Structure 1
Amino acid sequence: MSDRELERRANHKLAVLRHVEEVSFNVAATCRYYGISRQAYYGWKRRYEAEGFEGLKDRSSAPHHQPAKTDRDVVEKILWLRQQYHFGPQKISMYLARYHDITISPSGVWRILHKLGLGRLPTSQRYKRTQTRWKRYEKQRPGHALQVDVKFIEPLGQKGKKKRYYQYTAIDDCTRIRVLRAYERNDQKTAIQFIDHVLAKLPFQVERVQTDNGAEFGQAFHWHLLDKGIDHVKIRPRTPRLNGKVERSHRIDSDEFYKLLEGEVLDDTRLFAERLQQWEDHYNYDRPHGALGGQTPYERLKQKAAAPLS
Structure 2
Amino acid sequence: MAQSGKRLGTGKRDAATKLAEHRLSVLELAGELGNVAEACRRRGLDRTSFYEWKRRFQTQGFEGLKDLPPVHKSHPMTTPPATVDRIKDLALEHPAYGCNRLEALLALEGTRVSSITIQKILNDSGLGSKYDRWLALEEKTAGKAIDLTGEQAAFIEKLNPCFRERHVESGAPGELLSADTFFVGNLKGIGKVYLHAVVDTYGSYAFGFLHVSKQPEAAAAVLHNDVLPFYRNLDLPVTAVLTDNGREFCGTDTHPYELYLDLNGIEHRRTRVKTPKTNGFVERFNGTVLDEFFRVKMRETFYESVDALQADLDAWLVHYNTERPHLGYRNQGRRPIETINLFVSQEA
The interval holding the TM-score normalised by the smaller chain is 0.5 to 0.7
**CA distance in 1: counterparts of 2:311 and 2:283, whole angstroms:** 22
Residue 249 (structure 2) pairs with residue 210 (structure 1): no
Gaps of 5+ in 1: 1-125
Q: Output aligned runs, 1:115-126, within 5 Å.
A: none
**CA distance in 2: counterparts of 1:151 and 1:237, whole angstroms:** 18
Partner residue, 1:269: 306
**Could you say if the C-alpha distance between residues 207 and 263 of structure 1 is closer, same or farther in structure 2, counting changes exceeding 3 Å?**
same
| Bigger Rg, which one | 2
Residue 338 (structure 2) pairs with residue 299 (structure 1): yes
* % identical equivalent positions: 26
Partner residue, 2:192: 164
Partner residue, 1:145: 176
**CA distance in 2: counterparts of 1:280 and 1:237, whole angstroms:** 30
User: Which letter maps to 1:301?
Assistant: I
Residue 213 (structure 2) pairs with residue 185 (structure 1): yes
**CA distance in 1: counterparts of 2:282 and 2:269, whole angstroms:** 15
How far is 1:271 from its partner? 0.8
**CA distance in 1: counterparts of 2:337 and 2:164, whole angstroms:** 24
Q: SS in structure 1 opposite 2:268?
A: strand
Q: SS in structure 2 opposite 1:193?
A: helix
**CA distance in 2: counterparts of 1:136 and 1:280, whole angstroms:** 21
Partner residue, 1:237: 273
How far is 1:307 from its partner? 1.8
**Match among 262, 277, 285 for residue 226 of structure 1:** 262
User: Which letter maps to 1:230?
Assistant: I
**CA distance in 2: counterparts of 1:146 and 1:303, whole angstroms:** 18
**CA distance in 2: counterparts of 1:194 and 1:255, whole angstroms:** 22
Say how many residue pairs are matched.
179
CA RMSD of aligned residues (A): 2.3
* Superimposed CA distance per residue, residues 43-72 of structure 1 (whole angstroms, 9 cap, x where no aligned partner): xxxxxxxxxxxxxxxxxxxxxxxxxxxxxx
How far is 1:263 from its partner? 3.1
Q: Output aligned runs, 1:1-310, within 5 Å.
A: 130=155, 133=159, 135-137=164-166, 138-154=169-185, 158-159=187-188, 161=189, 163-197=191-225, 198-202=227-231, 203=234, 204-219=236-251, 220=255, 221-261=257-297, 262-291=299-328, 292-308=331-347
Q: Which has the higher contact order (CA 8 A, sep 6+)?
A: 1
Q: SS in structure 2 opposite 1:136?
A: coil
User: Which letter maps to 1:277?
Assistant: D
User: Which letter maps to 1:305?
Assistant: V
How far is 1:301 from its partner? 0.7
How far is 1:170 from its partner? 0.5
How far is 1:257 from its partner? 0.8
Q: SS in structure 1 opposite 2:241?
A: strand
**CA distance in 2: counterparts of 1:135 and 1:298, whole angstroms:** 21
**CA distance in 2: counterparts of 1:136 and 1:167, whole angstroms:** 22
CA contact (8 A) 2:180 2:282 kept: yes
How far is 1:162 from its partner? 5.4
Relative to the length of structure 1, the TM-score reads 0.54
Gaps of 5+ in 2: 1-134, 136-153
Relative to the length of structure 2, the TM-score reads 0.48
